[in-house]
Amino acid sequence: MFFKFPFVNLRTQNSKMEQTILKKAAELFIKFGFKSVTMDDIANELTISKKTIYVYYENKSELVEAVVNYFFEEITKIIQGIISLNLNAIEESFKIHETVSQLFKDENESIEYQLRKYFPEIHEKNNCTRTDLFQQTISNNLEKGISEGYYRPSIDVNFTSKFFIATITSLKNNDNSELVDYPITYAKNQFFDIYFRGIVTEKGLEILKKQLNK
């Protein structure tokens, strides 16, 4: 699950050259995939010696992991930024979904597949960390919505957050053979409609209708 970033605010503890290598590698991985891009490709794009890359990254796997970690750090910042806007729980959830979906809009569909196939340990580590982030974000949103009176107080927060993650993951990976004929965007929108109508109160329903009609 990767996406286009503006590639700004790279970690300040990295040297300028390390940041340059990380940025270029991320751009090439997004465009061509993890499997296709070689260390030579990155070096040629930067007009530097491949030995320079190895000063900072011992091998391609280490560079791939650095790029994946950078992507995760950035999406965490994006989510935290939306939460800091102090929107109500329904607006916040839709804002996060819309923003993340827009970031994923131009992703190379083979990137995550390649990461899972050729760098399985990195994929597994990132997938677990990412799932934890999303589940915690959803759990916090549910608790916020309950306290605001927009979500039903009887909701099982832990189960509902896990249910949300499992369903979205299943839709994205086309794990349900009964739904493969539906475009992913349509399927996600239908799920969002069903999901929110199942958890909102009468008070929350009015806000939900406004969000769904946008």
Task: Show me where the domains of the chain are located.
Answer: 68-212
pTM of the model: 0.81
The number of beta carbons lying within 10 Å of the beta carbon of residue 96 is 20
CA distances from 102 to 96, 98, 105, 106 (A): 10, 6, 5, 8
Average pLDDT over residues 25-45: 93
- Give, in degrees to the nearest 5, the angle at Cα 68 between 109 and 159: 80
Architecture of domain 68-212: Orthogonal Bundle (1.10)
Element (H, E) at 73: helix 60-83
* CA atoms in the 13 A half-sphere facing the CB of 192: 20
pLDDT category of residue 6 using cuts at 50, 70 and 90: very low
Kindly report, residue by residue over 107-148, the tens digit of the pLDDT: 555 677 788 889 999 989 988 898 999 999 999 999 999 999
CA distance 173 to 212: 24
pLDDT category of residue 175 using cuts at 50, 70 and 90: low
Given a contact cutoff of 8 angstroms between Cβ atoms, the answer to whether 1 and 130 are in contact is yes
Look at 40-49, 67-76, 90-99, 199-208 and tell me which has the smallest mean pLDDT: 67-76
Tokens 């800091």 sit at which residue?
Answer: 84
Per cent of the chain over pLDDT 70 is 88
Which token pair is 36? 């296709």
